[in-house]
Amino acid sequence: MKKEIRKSLSRLLTSGIRDLYCAEKEIARVLPKMIRAATSPILKRAFQEHLDITHIHVNRLLEVFRWIGHKPKGKKCVPIRNIIREGKYARELAVNGSASRDLGLIFTAQKMECYEIAGYAILANVATELLLDNVADTLFRTHEEEVEAGTMYADIASNDIIHPAFHLN
């Protein structure tokens, strides 16, 4: 690989890891609020599980920083902050304790997952190209967990929130 391309990919990897690190920290900050706002016990548990795994993801990213020789400083993750802001507005519009509030919370969580899924996927591929196998493996594993979380939220929305709320006898 040409030296200039390698250097450019290394910068992309570092910048992306910093972005995901800040995103994970923002998500860890907002999930307790989402737990409190949720009505469904199943959704509350899902958010708690997501919070627990988010802490693991933050620690993994700290390990990745050590492997690539950079400090875990980061910029603010504006896209995640905007998603959180939109979610707060949606929660304020929904009736407390309603299916629409829980669906709004899931919508916010799904948007956050999509951002993370895209980030981890591309950065894992960049790490692979740079022959950073331990970094790539860690990022691919985290990517898979983010995909699982997205699927879990979709299932909860469909099976536990929408179906019971709109198919009452």
Which CATH number belongs to the domain containing residue 124 in this structure? 1.20.1260.10
Q: Is residue 127 part of a domain?
A: yes
CA dihedral 115, 118, 124, 125 (to 10 degrees): -160
- The total number of structural domains in the chain stands at 1
Q: Is residue 133 part of a domain?
A: yes
- Closest CA relative to residue 90, chosen from 69, 104, 109: 104
Tens digits of pLDDT across the chain (169 residues): 688 999 999 999 999 999 999 999 999 999 999 999 998 999 999 999 999 999 999 999 999 999 999 988 867 889 999 999 888 877 776 666 668 888 899 999 999 999 999 999 999 999 999 999 999 999 999 999 999 999 999 999 988 787 555 544 4
67: containing domain: 3-163
pTM: 0.90
**Could you tell me if 57 and 138 are in contact, meaning their C-beta atoms sit under 8 angstroms apart?**
no
Q: Is residue 168 part of a domain?
A: no
Q: Is residue 169 part of a domain?
A: no
Q: Is residue 10 part of a domain?
A: yes
Angle CA 68–58–35, to nearest 5: 165
Angle CA 68–18–46, to nearest 5: 115
